[in-house]
Amino acid sequence: MSITAIVYKSNTGFTEQYAQMLGKDAKLKVYPLDGSGALPAGAQVLYMGPLMAGHIEGVDQAVKRFQVKAVCGVGMSAPGRQVLETLSKANYVPNAPIFYLQGGWAPEKVGWLKRRMVNLVTKGTRRALQAKSQRTPAEQADLDMLLHGGSRVAYENLDTLRRWLREQN
Ligand SMILES: Cc1cc2nc3c(=O)[nH]c(=O)nc-3n(C[C@H](O)[C@H](O)[C@H](O)COP(=O)(O)O)c2cc1C
């Protein structure tokens, strides 16, 4: 069983960057979900989508059209076991492993309501970081991202996914 293509959805560009990077690396074609008409229905794909309130956007549509062999959520949260556990509960795709990548936060590219929603959710973390008299460079970077946006997209983050893809072929 091998993956034929990567299909993705991206609102502010982070998921798209990862999808393109991975496609280039694994020599797979990359299609935006809205422009995936050239792919035959039932094709075996890796689906990547941005996280919105814990849900991987577009995954339901992708599952209806394609055989989704793996799903990858891209969010602003730091990666870790807890993110993955929450994801696998909320975005169940039968027999498909779930991956998570940290994308970033681009407040200037989302509408005011969504920006407010995110600011509300991250308020506690922001306040806690701001209250510290001394912040480590990592904490300062986190605070800067929450306040002004920023990208965490990096090729190294793709290691686990690249390994998984290699095992499929
Ligand atoms: C309304 C809204 C809800 C979000 N919810 C989450 C979330 O639950 N978890 C998370 O890690 N990131 C969340 N994010 C952040 C995005 O997932 C993050 O910016 C992601 O990198 C966007 O990917 P994209 O640039 O491909 O659209 C949310 C963003 C918005 C606008």
Joined together, the tokens standing for residue 88 give 């696998």
Whether the CB of 10 sits within 6 Å of ligand 1 = yes
Whether the CB of 90 sits within 6 Å of ligand 1 = no
Residue of the CA atom closest to atom 23 of ligand 1 = 50
pTM above 0.85, yes or no: yes
Give the pLDDT confidence score for residue 3 in this predicted structure.
Answer: 93
Residue carrying the six token digits 């793709």 = 158
* Phi, psi for 103 (deg, rounded to 5): -95, -90
Distance, in Å, from the CA atom of 102 to the CA atom of 139, rounded to the nearest integer, reads: 16
Distance, in Å, from the CA atom of 95 to the CA atom of 73, rounded to the nearest integer, reads: 16
Give the pLDDT confidence score for residue 91 in this predicted structure.
Answer: 80
Tens of pLDDT, residues 130-162: 999 999 999 999 999 999 999 999 999 999 999
Residue of the CA atom closest to atom 3 of ligand 1 = 52
Give the pLDDT confidence score for residue 1 in this predicted structure.
Answer: 60
**Bridge-based pairing state of the strands 44-52 and 55-56:** antiparallel
Closest atom, ligand 1, to C-alpha of 55: 8
Give the pLDDT confidence score for residue 95 in this predicted structure.
Answer: 87
Give the pLDDT confidence score for residue 94 in this predicted structure.
Answer: 84
Joined together, the tokens standing for residue 61 give 């549509």
Residue of the CA atom closest to atom 11 of ligand 1 = 75
Domains and CATH numbers, the chain: 5-105+151-168 (3.40.50.360), 107-148 (no CATH)
Q: Which residues of the chain have pLDDT under 50?
A: none
